Amino acid sequence: MFTAQNIHSRARSKRQWAKVAVPYSFVSAALLLVILVSFYPIFYALRLSLYETNYMTIGRFIGLGNFLRAALDLRVHNSILISLGYVFGSLVLVVPIGLGLALVLNRPIRFRGFFRTILIFPWIVSQTVTAMLWSWLLNPSFGPVNYVIAALGFSRVMFIGNPDLAMKTLVAANVWQTYPYAMILCLAALQTIPNELYEAARIDGASPRECFRHVTLPLISNVLMVVVIMCTLHYFNMVTLMYVLTGGGPVFRTETLSLKVFLEAFSHWDMSLASTLGIVIFAFNIFFSLLYIKLLRREALY
């Protein structure tokens, strides 16, 4: 009797222990990994941004000196403007193209799955490959685009080498690779709109344009905001496409802030400036992520 009780309580305490220990053991590896590879480096970046560095050795503490240096650096100003132009220029094209194609794909047509498959395709092509394919497509001597331009009687265009065209070319390549994201999100949103709403609007005498304006648009506005925020973050943070396609040139015309961070770190080995600008990018990301979370919360209320 006594022993039985003893065994019983021992078993219970073991179970109690397992109840606490098992959950922690389940999350520990994930926690350790993100602390080592994400948290620690971002704090390290903060620290680097407050010190002078020489290659990889940390020197004197200079407080906000690096931020001051960045704030007064004309090339940093240039990069910020270039980044904003790049983000804005891409969004202005990606959102209408994505929404437009989603509207077309949402119509009851034949081969819908076939077209959808083809139209998604660029999204899975890497930024490196996108840059390579576009630079070959737009090659001044042998590319088909320049062949057509020449055949129409114009002079051949150096798309990447021309300071006035490099950014437009970069945006075009980016739009080509990322419009499927906007398209898929919009298509998913369109498919959740019940047909009865359109029927009701039509019975009330609404034209197709009025249907779009007063039924479709309000119902997908939240998804459009999600597309805008996610694309903004993606475009603002990306490096590979410009690094491979233009390298930031000509004359820094395509040197976005994110590309500048990469070049400062891995070409000029100025780790403190790279970290300082990295923190600026991080702050920008937090701002947009909070906006995104707020938006999702609002959506959840409906």
Q: Among residues 33, 64, 84, 251, which is the contact residue for another protein, using CB under 8 A?
A: 33
Give the binding range for another protein (CB under 8 A) out of 37-45, 82-90, 158-166, 213-221.
37-45
Contact flag: residue 262 with another protein (CB under 8 A): yes
Q: Do β-strands 57-61 and 51-54 pair in parallel, antiparallel, or remain unpaired?
A: antiparallel
- Binding mask 116-155 toward another protein (x if CB under 8 A, else -) reads xxxxxxxxxxxxxxx-xxx-xx-x-xxxx--x---x----
Contact flag: residue 203 with another protein (CB under 8 A): no
Contact flag: residue 84 with another protein (CB under 8 A): no
Give the binding range for another protein (CB under 8 A) out of 5-13, 36-44, 157-165, 210-218.
36-44
Q: Among residues 78, 162, 222, 237, which is the contact residue for another protein, using CB under 8 A?
A: 237
Q: Could you give the CA distance from residue 145 to residue 165 in angstroms, rounded to a whole number?
A: 14
Contact between residue 119 and residue 105 where contact means Cβ atoms under 8 Å apart:
yes
Q: Which is nearer to another protein, 62 or 281 (CB)?
A: 281
In this structure, what token pair is assigned to residue 131?
């840059």
User: Residue 76 in 3-state DSSP?
Assistant: helix
Q: Which is nearer to another protein, 137 or 165 (CB)?
A: 137
Phi and psi at residue 212, in whole multiples of 5°?
-65, -45
- Report, in Å, the least distance between residue 204 CB and another protein: 18
Find the Cα–Cα–Cα–Cα dihedral 68, 73, 76, 81, rounded to 10°.
110
Q: Which is nearer to another protein, 88 or 266 (CB)?
A: 266
239 closest CA partner among 131, 163, 92: 131
> Residue 55 — left, alpha, or beta (φ > 0 → left; ψ -120 to 50 → alpha)?
left
User: Residue 217 in 3-state DSSP?
Assistant: helix
Q: Among residues 11, 31, 84, 92, which is the contact residue for another protein, using CB under 8 A?
A: 31
Contact between residue 174 and residue 242 where contact means Cβ atoms under 8 Å apart:
no
Strand partners, 58: 53
Give the binding range for another protein (CB under 8 A) out of 2-10, 64-72, 97-105, 214-222.
97-105
Give the binding range for another protein (CB under 8 A) out of 3-11, 70-78, 85-93, 268-276.
268-276
- Report, in Å, the least distance between residue 176 CB and another protein: 7
Q: Which is nearer to another protein, 165 or 172 (CB)?
A: 172
* Helix%, strand%, coil% for the chain, nearest 5: 75, 5, 20
Contact flag: residue 206 with another protein (CB under 8 A): no
- The residues in 170-189 that bind another protein, with binding defined as CB under 8 A, are 176, 180, 184-185, 187-188
Contact flag: residue 230 with another protein (CB under 8 A): yes
Peptide bond into 250 cis (omega under 30): yes
259 closest CA partner among 275, 245, 273, 240: 240
Q: Which is nearer to another protein, 34 or 200 (CB)?
A: 34
